[in-house]
Chain A
Amino acid sequence: MEWYLRGVIKLNNIGKSYVTGSQKLEVLKGLSCNIKKGEMVAIMGSSGSGKSTLLNILGLLDSFDSGDYLLSGESMSGLNERAAAKYRSKLLGFVFQSFNLIGFKTALENVALPLYYQSIPRKKRNVIAMDYLKKVGLEDWASHLPNQMSGGQKQRVAIARALVAQPKVILADEPTGALDSVTSSDVMTLLREINADGITMIIVTHEHDIAALCDRTIHLVDGLIDLS
């Protein structure tokens, strides 16, 4: 993988449909786009337009039916689960609307989890995780469980977790969707700071003022990118 391609995303004619029973729902209908290294991009669109579907495909959490997806210059077509897990672990970080922290793990353990799957020893893992908790301003909350924290704090823990393995791309699905406006802008400030370090950032959002904080916005309409 060439260094100058790291964090670069190229989508070529991506098609994705869901089959439920006898019905086939075409969600993405040959979608193409390029996202440059270090770009901060917002994805907007009406509910059900396929934003999450697109983000999950970008995150290798879901497969696509047709077209090609180049991540850091490598094709992601027909990956098996094991290879997908490797790419996720090495290149991608996730932030979700509902935080998706593991309830029985402390903030520190949650942040350290991606490092566990990279087989980094516990002591080292905890030191690194603590660094990232500091970065999001939550070092005093390291030993708290998620249900002892506010939404904004949980999302910051999730961001620390997304960062801990030093990904090239962070994918965020409505990261501020469950937060009030003040906390939302805190979180966006944090994400901008992270992006300033050169990490490519893709944010799905409903809110125009969130999208306005990004470099550019991709509008999804009817399974395609609206270029108008």
Chain B
Amino acid sequence: MKKESKINLFDLDRVLEILQVFLTNPFRTFLSGLGVGWGLFMIVVTVGASNGLENGVTSEMGGRVKNSMFLWSRMTSMPYKGFKRGRRFEFNNSDTEFLRENATSIKLVAPRNQLGGHRGSNNVTRGTKSGAFNVYGDVPGYIEIDPVKILSGRYLNQGDIDNERKIAVIGKRVLELLYDKEIEPIGSSIQIQGVIFSVVGVYSTYKTGEDAEEDNQSIFIPYTTFGKSFHTNNEVGWYSLLMDENVHADTSAAEVMSLLKQRKSVHPDDKRAMGSWSMASEFEEVESLFAAFRLISFIFGGLALLAGAIGIMNIMLITVRERTKELGIRRAMGATPLTVMRQIMSETIFLTTLSGLMGVSFGVASLEGVNHLLESMGGSGGSFRNPEVSLYTVLIALGVMLVMGVIAGILPAVRAIAIRPVEAIRTE
């Protein structure tokens, strides 16, 4: 006897056979596939939406470097070494040197000072024009912590710091408000609280949303010049720090804090004496939120998928019963139980996969549609941007669905092979 043909996973003959069966009742085939299609559609759309939200939020955070941290002094809340609680203390330039030498998990220490702000009175003038802007005293390294795009001219450099040059790098919005269109800003001068600075560069922010506006209305001047011109002298407003990527943000924060507490005679357990904010923990928070979103959409989508798979199983059970005679004829014509089982399994898996792929396609198409819409609206959908699903997500969803297809096929297939040819062929 001829050996059983080898099991080809994709055999045109078998696919045609399956298609023929489906086409005998196309409407029912469509309906039974609907559940699974819907499940995958849901997964793709909800995962895509939560990705869109995530993309929106991270883009609002802009190109801000993930391992950056901000640190400022507040008021002590515990008595220590003869000091009473409620003592105010400030950081100064020698603390900066101390941190640079001793904090091993810190790559870059950038002391900062700030003047004014858009809520304050006008502090910057040029000829007859004036405006209220944030003015920062910065070191050149700060651009690594909070990157900006230099549109013309240059950023601060070490020479500016060493020579206490009276130069300024101004934001795009500052340029718009203080200059007429045709005027070249580089080399021109502005007055910041009466002190004349010469403009050496114009920048714009990478951020979007509200933060962007604020950022573009700022002016950077050398840290040393700031101290001299605005009499902050030795004082440091706050620190921007760049941490070693290989050390967890919390660990390096703890190191810096304990170094500074010791140096400033603050109780080691005093949690309120210094404030800090790190991008990493912010990111972690946002990321865990979105991970939860994704999990939820997978659970709900998975339940929808499960319902769909059960639907397919039911339909297949009904179909098998209706096709008792046909299956009996096939058996009489030489089909082995294995062939019949394979046929029913293939039909179920084929149906699940086909409807699943349809669901995925419609889901991806919807996301693309929304994307298109957002772009045509000017690219800014607020906190929602670029909804998308990774191929990986789609593959996982399809994989889960395939497994469900197999499970859904088992019972109908077992029913099908339990049909004895003689029962099937009997004419009543």
Contacts and interface: CB of A to CB of B under 8 A. Distances in A.
A94 B23 CA distance: 27
B424 to A, nearest CB: 9
A186 interface: no
A94 B422 CA distance: 12
Contacts of A85: 331, 334-337, 339
A118 B5 CA distance: 8
B99 interface: no
Given A61-B421, A62-B422, A105-B20, A90 B1 contact: yes
B332 A61 contact: yes
Contact of B334 (A97, A102, A104, A114): A114
B372 interface: no
A98 B427 contact: yes
Interface in B390-428: 417, 420-422, 425, 427
A192 to B, nearest CB: 23
B21 interface: yes
B126 interface: no
A117 B422 contact: no
A119 interface: yes
A100 B21 contact: no
A102 B329 contact: yes
B278 to A, nearest CB: 67
Contacts of A119: 2, 5
Contact of B330 (A62, A96, A113): A113
B337 A82 contact: yes
Interface in B310-332: 325-326, 329-332
Contacts, number: 79
Q: What is the size category of the interface that chain B forms with chain A? A: 20 to 34
A114 B334 CA distance: 6
B365 interface: no
A102 to B, nearest CB: 5
A82 B334 contact: no
A66 B325 CA distance: 28
Interface residues of A, number: 31
B13 A122 contact: yes
Contacts of B330: 102, 113, 117
A61 B422 contact: yes
Contacts of A113: 329-330, 333
B31 interface: no
A119 B20 CA distance: 18
B24 interface: yes
B28 to A, nearest CB: 13
Contact of A117 (B325, B335, B417, B421): B335
Contacts of A161: 333
Interface in A72-98: 81-82, 85-86, 88-90, 94, 96-98
A104 B337 contact: no
Interface in B9-54: 12-13, 16-17, 20-21, 23-24
Cβ-closest 9 pairs across A and B: A89-B334, A119-B5, A117-B334, A85-B336, A62-B422, A104-B24, A61-B422, A114-B333, A61-B421
23 contacts: A61-B331, A61-B420, A62-B420, A81-B337, A85-B335, A86-B334, A88-B331, A88-B333, A89-B333, A89-B334, A90-B1, A96-B425, A100-B329, A100-B425, A102-B326, A102-B330, A105-B20, A113-B329, A117-B333, A117-B334, A117-B336, A119-B5, A122-B13
Given A88-B331, A101-B329, 12 more contacts: A61-B331, A61-B420, A61-B425, A85-B337, A85-B339, A88-B333, A94-B333, A102-B329, A103-B24, A104-B21, A104-B23, A114-B334
